[in-house]
Amino acid sequence: MLGYCQLIEHPKIVAELQEFARKQWVEIATGRSIKFTSGLAQPSLDLELDEICIPYIAEGEEIIVTRSPLINSNGVITLKNKHLSEMLNGCVYIHPKTAMDNMQCDFDGDLLAFAPSEDFSKLAAEVKEKILPSNRYPDIVKKTKVPYQGTFEEIAVSAM
């Protein structure tokens, strides 16, 4: 059909389709095409190291969990959902050691992103493979936060 004045052959249409395809590849390459839900991370010592509590997902369901920024594959894990007796909507409960060891999450407003493993079965399988001790990157040691020194005015001026 080439050369028969097809609208799809028009340079403007070709350019628009190329730009559309480029944007789609960028979305896929940067991970923005996979949509996870997120919730405010809250510590809970009532959970085991391999458990998470997301109130509206069925108990026992396997969940892929991560946090942004994602430094390496250590920061994506799978956990089993377990309901707690007291839960708030919008919050995600996780054992503090699990949160810190895998995602450097210190509960100062951190959001955890999650999705049921069944929705991304190939990703879940890869996560399980990458989290094996032989495949993990060395753990990241998070530096302790240093409190600001001085009055509010001094801190504001020094930040300029």
pLDDT, one tens digit per residue, over 113-137 is 999 999 999 999 999 999 899 998 8
Answer positive or negative: Cα dihedral of 123, 40, 139, 72: positive
Give residue 27's pLDDT: 80
pLDDT, one tens digit per residue, over 18-48 is 999 998 888 876 767 777 899 999 999 999 9
Tokens of 110: 């951190």
Give residue 94's pLDDT: 97
Over pLDDT 70: what percentage of the chain?
Answer: 95
What are the residue ranges spanned by the domains of the chain? 1-33, 37-130
pLDDT bin (cut points 50, 70, 90) of residue 83 is very high
Pick the CATH number of 37-130 from 2.40.40.20, 1.10.40.30, 3.40.50.300, 1.10.1060.10: 2.40.40.20
Average pLDDT score, the chain: 89
Contact status, residue 46 vs residue 92, Cβ threshold 8 Å:
no
